[in-house]
Structure 1
Amino acid sequence: MDIRTGRPVTLAPNGMVTSPHALASAAGLDVLRAGGSAIDAAIATSAVLAVVYPHMTGLGGDAFWLIHDGASGDIRYLNGGGKAAEGATLSALEARGLQEIPLRGIVPATLTVPGAVASWIEAHSVHGRLPLCRVLEGAIAYACDGFPVTDRLAGFVEIMREDLLSDRESAALFFPQGAAAAPGAKLVNPNLARTFQSIADDGWQGFYEGPVAAEMARFSEEAGGLLRLADFSRQKAIWGEPLVGRYRDVTVFNTPPPTQGFTVLEMLNLIEPHELHRKDFLGPDHVHLLVQAKQIAYHDRDEMLADPGFAEVPVERLISKEYAVERGRLIDGRAALQWDMVPSYGSLSGDTVYVAAVDRCGNAASLIQSLYGAFGACVVAGNTGVILQNRGAYFSLDRRHPNRLEPGKIPLHTLIASMAKRDGKLWSVLGCMGRMASRKSSSSFMRR
């Protein structure tokens, strides 16, 4: 028998949940066992991650979904991207003397409204089986009673020490009694528990209206930020259709703009003629081809991707086989691409969590959620316990760029969620986490 070290493949007959933290995955599995759907499980898992994995995700971030309906086989896209505040204008930032958007602090923290919670509520309203209060039970308990700090979380607290200490609420949360949260110590966030309870009791209104929204708006205004109460009330999650491509005998689904999902399909189109399966895995020819395909696709992203509500993104052309033939002429198996084909706008160093869930009825959720950078903007919104994202830092201040900052606009998102079908049946539910969060993808597979 061939015995290998490492984690074995997990097999399950009735459902599966995967995430980067055992407590979060267990919460999702508990919801499945209680009769919840895959979407219930994904929300439960993501909610616990917002508590126990605060360096990568939280209620203050954004989320994007692909959801597979087991009965019909349909796959739909749900956009949980946060919109820019009404006061988030180019002139407003120029008046502050900014030539680029900072990565940390009150300005990126208050450029865009948190969008993840709206997506949870919308997904649950359509596909949920259990009451929201039951789905959020685990997250509320861990926030209220505490959870053990992992080595990874403690390490990120140290890495981001200076930025976290610069914000009073962040310092109080992650440096209790003046010392950094240590591995094995119990960390509590009672303010976040109360915010979760508000969502459990009142759904969308519990976060985007009422005391929680009022406190986030108060904090923003008093600290010199741009978010106001009316900005929260405008945030909704939007259903749409996924992008669809094909690689060999697999149909691949991905999230459309403002996410960079089209780059996955473009890259697959670029490499398909080169018969990747015949090259040595991670051999030089294999790696060289993948790097060049990524360079080309990301160059297209940096030039053209933006919120489709504000800019025309030629996505059908970008994911077409014909376009791949045209762009594929740039690939050179003997040398690197020219310097101007290398991405030069923005950064891919953000941090992300990925959750996949499948239930016994064939329903599946592919959910990607993030604060963008480690601990987002390193700013906690007053007494809500909510760490605010810095995804707005991805906006351009170039007035000619399609991804320029504008009120109500969702920034270019590196977040993507994927699914795939083979022979018309759901075959894979997968996604890739942020570079600093994990150096491998987190995925769930179902073959029937």
Structure 2
Amino acid sequence: MRNFILLICLFITIPLFAQDRITGHNFATRSEVIAQHGMAATSQPLATQVALDILKAGGNAIDAAIAANAVLGLTEPTGNGIGGDLFAIIWDAEKEELVGLNASGRSPYDLDLSYFKDNGYDKIPSYGPLPVSVPGCVSGWFSMHEKYGSKPMVEILKPAITYAREGFPLTEVIAHYWNIGANRLQQYDGFTEVYMPNGRAPQKGEIFKNPALANTLETIAQEGRDAFYKGKIAHTIADYIKEQGGFLSYKDMADHTDSWVEPVSTNYRGYDVYELPPNGQGTAVLQILNILEAYNIKEMGFGSPDYVHTFVEAKKIAFEDRAKYYADPDFVDIPVEQLISKAYADERRKLIDPEQAGNEYPAGELEQGNTIYMTVADDKGNMVSLIQSNYRGMGSGMTPPGLGFILQDRGELFSLQDGHNNVYEPHKRPFHTIIPAFVMKDGKPLISFGLMGGAMQPQGHAQIVVNLVDFGMNLQEAGDAPRIHHTSPSQPTGGKMTEGGVLNLESGFPEETIRELLRKGHKIAPAIGPFGGYQAIMYDAENDVYYGASESRKDGQAAGY
């Protein structure tokens, strides 16, 4: 009995941490999910289950990705919805090729730079009608479906329509961000009617219904893409924005087009890492990895001051180019091949002082800059890496009557500086933060992954690759590991922030690392929540199985069958 009492006291006084796991790093939240026939990883469990239901019913990964994304627009409006944009990287197993889709929308024809200057704006507002650009999500669905889909859109969108009509229980993290978004956006016409039933944001566990969104999705499913961009929905959006004092018009909606693009890549220690080219920021991931490749990261050790310092300095350098060059390639000639070249990385790396944090790095001189992520894989080997967003969580606050969704505010990311690559121009795609990623090994598909969260995304993508390749972490550990987040001194809008930026380190980094980083001149501040949200699927060709991992910082789930 005495020994039993001592054992109980020991358990009371010594907290049980993750190091009591049988295997894995002490920060791992769980083991990887492993399945043979299909895998889905999303930021909301109902969406993951819908993806699996579509796969089990004979649909492919593209069908399942569209279905899950539609559910996420309902269940997680704090990060995405059909009022936002979409990007995807798809591995076509039959053709054995990797393709990219840019389904981002453009700025209004009838709004130009002079409007902002004449009205005294030094930046485009975050909310309201002015930052609204054409929503590309629905067009992206139909582009994917036309090229790869196997099931009818009516069947694909049915689960989201059913959940919208019958309701679903709100999960914890989404409820938290919903409350924040509601407090910010309730001033705008139409928002409270959809997103604040009973006069407040719904709480965790409460059932939320969105019959207006159900009707909109039903119309899209039955009548196709043109119902959204050339039908009554487009007219409703245009009329509402005009009433709100904005400029998005029916012509803007009707003229929207997507772009199939070739992903860009770099090889990092034998692994080919793929991102989409601008107007997104994926190129920054490749630049960071190119700079890091010359260092012995493995020997430095995860969480060490040398590793964190080197990573942050590489990120700063890449983000200076991001601020200067990344923009809509239809308007400016972006030297992507030079930006991601090894020779350019060799030159840029010389700027890093191993003992001192840089306050500011000049952008390179070259010859002629909240969200959801999800991934699905099927039994034929197809894999989809998809990211979709409203921007700033729930978007602009602009909620057209009777449609059940909010329009994005991506236009905020345009610069108002004359001559800037990303300067505001009519019918132009803004600089975009959302980026899907893909990793190949020896010409074969390996990992479909993403990490959402604004400017966290490129630095997060690079950290995932380093965790997997240099530190030997498994797919779940690579996402659970504490993260580095650095706010950049320069922004794609052309504005300036704190000199040298501010470094946030997630809990889990040693105190000695923090002290040494302070000695090197880094400005470190605490932060809650800017560290992103990760989902990933890895294909193990030797055993012919999929591994899945989901973000422990979100409400997500990875599951397979």
> TM-score, normalized by length of structure 1?
0.95
Alpha-carbon offset, residue 3 of structure 1: 5.1
1:257 equivalenced with 2:278 (yes/no): yes
- What does residue 103 of structure 1 align with? 126
Kindly indicate whether the alpha-carbon contact (under 8 Å) linking 1:56 and 1:370 is maintained by their aligned counterparts in 2.
Answer: yes
Match of 2:274, SS state, is: strand
Alpha-carbon offset, residue 440 of structure 1: 4.1
Kindly indicate whether the alpha-carbon contact (under 8 Å) linking 1:164 and 1:378 is maintained by their aligned counterparts in 2.
Answer: yes
1:42 equivalenced with 2:65 (yes/no): yes
- What does residue 347 of structure 1 align with? none
Residue number among 247, 272, 280 corresponding to 2:293 in the alignment: 272
Kindly indicate whether the alpha-carbon contact (under 8 Å) linking 1:61 and 1:371 is maintained by their aligned counterparts in 2.
Answer: yes
One-letter amino acid of the counterpart of residue 282, structure 2: G
**How far apart, CA to CA, are the structure 2 residues paired with 1:327 and 1:3?**
39
Change (3 A) 1:340 1:323: closer
1:220 equivalenced with 2:313 (yes/no): no
- What does residue 206 of structure 1 align with? 227
- What does residue 162 of structure 1 align with? 183
Query: Which range moved further: 169-178 or 23-32?
Result: 169-178
**How far apart, CA to CA, are the structure 2 residues paired with 1:82 and 1:361?**
32
1:400 equivalenced with 2:412 (yes/no): no
Residues 62-101 of structure 1 mapped to structure 2, 5 A cutoff = 62-101=85-124
One-letter amino acid of the counterpart of residue 287, structure 1: V
Q: Deviation per CA, 1:272-292, whole angstroms, max 9, x where unpaired?
A: 010212221121111111111
Alpha-carbon offset, residue 414 of structure 1: 1.2
Q: CA RMSD in A?
A: 1.7
- What does residue 191 of structure 1 align with? 212
**How far apart, CA to CA, are the structure 2 residues paired with 1:81 and 1:33?**
31
- What does residue 55 of structure 2 align with? 32
Alpha-carbon offset, residue 399 of structure 1: 1.6
One-letter amino acid of the counterpart of residue 442, structure 1: Q
Kindly indicate whether the alpha-carbon contact (under 8 Å) linking 1:82 and 1:115 is maintained by their aligned counterparts in 2.
Answer: yes
**How far apart, CA to CA, are the structure 1 residues paired with 2:268 and 2:300?**
16
**How far apart, CA to CA, are the structure 2 residues paired with 1:115 and 1:226?**
17
**How far apart, CA to CA, are the structure 2 residues paired with 1:371 and 1:61?**
4
One-letter amino acid of the counterpart of residue 16, structure 1: M
Query: Which range moved further: 397-406 or 276-285?
Result: 276-285
One-letter amino acid of the counterpart of residue 379, structure 1: M
Alpha-carbon offset, residue 107 of structure 1: 1.4
Kindly indicate whether the alpha-carbon contact (under 8 Å) linking 1:352 and 1:437 is maintained by their aligned counterparts in 2.
Answer: no
**Looking at CA atoms only, which structure, 1 or 2, has the larger radius of gyration?**
2
Residue number among 103, 117, 120 corresponding to 2:138 in the alignment: 117
Alpha-carbon offset, residue 363 of structure 1: 0.8
One-letter amino acid of the counterpart of residue 98, structure 1: Y
1:151 equivalenced with 2:149 (yes/no): no
Q: Deviation per CA, 1:369-412, whole angstroms, max 9, x where unpaired?
A: 11110211122122211211111100011121110111111111
Residues 285-364 of structure 1 mapped to structure 2, 5 A cutoff = 285-340=306-361, 351-364=370-383
Query: Which range moved further: 407-416 or 165-174?
Result: 165-174
Match of 1:197, SS state, is: helix
**How far apart, CA to CA, are the structure 2 residues paired with 1:331 and 1:437?**
25
- What does residue 14 of structure 1 align with? 37
**How far apart, CA to CA, are the structure 2 residues paired with 1:421 and 1:90?**
42
Alpha-carbon offset, residue 182 of structure 1: 1.8
**How far apart, CA to CA, are the structure 2 residues paired with 1:106 and 1:71?**
44
One-letter amino acid of the counterpart of residue 297, structure 1: A
One-letter amino acid of the counterpart of residue 74, structure 1: E
Match of 1:168, SS state, is: coil
Alpha-carbon offset, residue 96 of structure 1: 3.5
Alpha-carbon offset, residue 340 of structure 1: 4.4
One-letter amino acid of the counterpart of residue 134, structure 1: E
- What does residue 441 of structure 1 align with? 534
Match of 2:237, SS state, is: helix
Alpha-carbon offset, residue 176 of structure 1: 1.3
**How far apart, CA to CA, are the structure 2 residues paired with 1:83 and 1:248?**
37
Q: Deviation per CA, 1:312-336, whole angstroms, max 9, x where unpaired?
A: 1110000000000010101121110
Match of 1:401, SS state, is: coil
Match of 1:334, SS state, is: coil
**How far apart, CA to CA, are the structure 2 residues paired with 1:38 and 1:279?**
39
Q: Which runs of 5+ in 2 are unaligned?
A: 1-20, 364-369, 457-528, 542-561
Residue number among 63, 82, 94 corresponding to 1:59 in the alignment: 82
One-letter amino acid of the counterpart of residue 426, structure 1: P
Alpha-carbon offset, residue 170 of structure 1: 1.0
Alpha-carbon offset, residue 151 of structure 1: 2.3
**How far apart, CA to CA, are the structure 2 residues paired with 1:180 and 1:103?**
21
> Identity of paired residues, percent?
37
Alpha-carbon offset, residue 240 of structure 1: 1.4
Change (3 A) 1:341 1:146: farther
Q: Which runs of 5+ in 1 are unaligned?
A: 343-350
Residue number among 159, 162, 172 corresponding to 1:141 in the alignment: 162
- What does residue 2 of structure 1 align with? 22
Kindly indicate whether the alpha-carbon contact (under 8 Å) linking 1:192 and 1:386 is maintained by their aligned counterparts in 2.
Answer: yes
Alpha-carbon offset, residue 7 of structure 1: 2.1
> TM-score, normalized by length of structure 2?
0.76
Kindly indicate whether the alpha-carbon contact (under 8 Å) linking 2:373 and 2:533 is maintained by their aligned counterparts in 1.
Answer: no
**How far apart, CA to CA, are the structure 1 residues paired with 2:184 and 2:269?**
47
**How far apart, CA to CA, are the structure 1 residues paired with 2:195 and 2:450?**
29
One-letter amino acid of the counterpart of residue 47, structure 1: A
- What does residue 422 of structure 1 align with? 441
Alpha-carbon offset, residue 168 of structure 1: 3.0
Kindly indicate whether the alpha-carbon contact (under 8 Å) linking 1:169 and 1:382 is maintained by their aligned counterparts in 2.
Answer: yes
Residue number among 387, 409, 412 corresponding to 1:390 in the alignment: 409
1:380 equivalenced with 2:399 (yes/no): yes
**How far apart, CA to CA, are the structure 1 residues paired with 2:163 and 2:59?**
20
Change (3 A) 1:438 1:117: farther
Alpha-carbon offset, residue 187 of structure 1: 1.1
Alpha-carbon offset, residue 141 of structure 1: 1.0
